Structure 1
Amino acid sequence: MQLYHHPFCAHSRLIRLALGEMGIEPELIEEHVWERRAEFLMLDPAGITPVLVENDGFVVPGGDLIAEYLDETRGDHLADRRLLPVDLYARVEVRRLTSWFNHKFFAEVSEPLVREKVYKRRMPREFGGGPPEMSIIRAARANIRYHLQYIGWLLKSRNWLAGERMSYADLAAAAHISVVDYLGDVPWDEDEGAKIWYARIKSRPAFRPLLALTVAGMPPAPCYADLDF
Structure 2
Amino acid sequence: MSVERTLHHFPLDPASRQVRLALGEKRLPFAEVQVRYWERPKELTRLNPSGLIPVLVETAGGAGPLVLCESRAILDHIEETTPEPALLSRDPAERAEARRLLSWFDRKFEYEAGGYILHEKMEKRLLGLGAPELANLRQGREGLRSHLHYIEGLLETREWLAGKRLSLADFAGAAHLSVIDYFGDVPWKDFPGVKTWYMKLKSRPCFRPLLTDRWPGLTPAPHYDDLDF
TM bracket, shorter-chain basis: over 0.9
Determine which of 90, 102, 114 is the counterpart of 2:94.
90
- Specify the SS of the correspondent of 1:48: coil
Between 1:104-113 and 1:166-175, the stretch displaced more is 104-113
- Specify the SS of the correspondent of 1:65: helix
| Mapped partners of 1:11, 1:102: distance in 2 | 8
Q: Do structure 1's residue 223 and structure 2's residue 223 form an aligned pair?
A: yes
Give 1:136's aligned residue. 136
Q: What whole-Å deviation, never above 9, does each CA across 1:66-109 have from its counterpart, x for those lacking one? A: 1111111111xx1xx30012222221111001111111111222
TM-score (norm 2): 0.92
TM-score (norm 1): 0.92
In 2, are the aligned partners of 1:149 and 1:190 still within 8 Å (CA)?
Answer: no
In 2, are the aligned partners of 1:10 and 1:110 still within 8 Å (CA)?
Answer: no
Determine which of 36, 39, 48 is the counterpart of 2:52.
48
Between 1:115-124 and 1:177-186, the stretch displaced more is 115-124
In 1, are the aligned partners of 2:183 and 2:221 still within 8 Å (CA)?
Answer: yes
| Mapped partners of 2:55, 2:200: distance in 1 | 28
Q: Do structure 1's residue 13 and structure 2's residue 17 form an aligned pair?
A: yes
Tell me which protein shows more helix as a share of its residues.
Answer: 1
Between 1:171-180 and 1:131-140, the stretch displaced more is 131-140
Q: How far 1:63 sits from its partner (Å)?
A: 0.7
Give 2:192's aligned residue. 192
1:1-229 alignment runs, 5 A limit: 1-56=5-60, 57-75=65-83, 78=84, 81-123=85-127, 129-229=129-229
Between 1:165-174 and 1:88-97, the stretch displaced more is 88-97
**Structure 2: stretches of 5+ with no match in the other structure:** none
Q: What whole-Å deviation, never above 9, does each CA across 1:109-163 have from its counterpart, x for those lacking one? A: 2222222211221225xxxx33322211111111111111111111111111101
Aligned length: 221
